[in-house]
Amino acid sequence: MSQNATLDRKAIEKFNSYWEDLMEEFPEARASAVKAMGQAVKRDLDAQIGRADLEADAKGTVRSWQELRLGSRGGYAALSAQKGKPSGGRTKSWRGQAVTIKQVTKWLERGHGVRKPAPGSAAAWNRAGRSGLNTVTGLRYVKGRMFYSWTKMKAMEHALDAANEALEIFAEEKGV
């Protein structure tokens, strides 16, 4: 675990080294690079959702729920599910609370458990047949689609590409 954190820290330090001289001379470069990186990661996330094992209508809905947030001074870009409740249809609840968009996105990302089907219910048995079965506990579950996890793996690559592009623009303007 600590080895992964060290590798991530080194990659982040390398990424930040791109910006030391640039920030003194050209402060808009970081904001534009962070925005470009955020948009590239959002495109990757949308592609991952498109590849996920979801119904066609659900893919568009889940894509529309994801939003790119940018820092006010261009210091960060973050992708997350919107706040609020899904629109349309009957309001769903979980443990007495209305289900939110963030919860649905988390369940799709990580997976979730499935109730035991009611005896004699054909529709419930069909749903249960599509779920996995934990061989240790005997409980049914739906596998996570992991679209955020797959997208996260390419985020640093997009960040470095955006930083290099900003540095090239900076070099052209300075005549280097």
Q: Among 4, 1, 23, 22, which residue's Cα sits nearest to residue 12?
A: 4
Cβ(49)–Cβ(59) below 8 Å: yes
Separation CA 69–CA 78 (nearest Å): 5
Averaged over successive runs of 10 residues, the pLDDT of the chain (176 residues) comes to 56 71 69 90 92 83 92 87 82 81 89 74 56 76 84 88 83 70
The pair of three-digit structure tokens given for residue 161, joined into one six-digit string: 């590409």
**Per-residue model confidence (pLDDT) at position 5:** 46
Q: What value, to the nearest 5°, has the Cα angle with vertex 31 and ends 27 and 36?
A: 140
For residues 163 and 37, give the distance between their C-alpha atoms in angstroms, rounded to a whole number: 8
Model pLDDT, residue 122 = 60
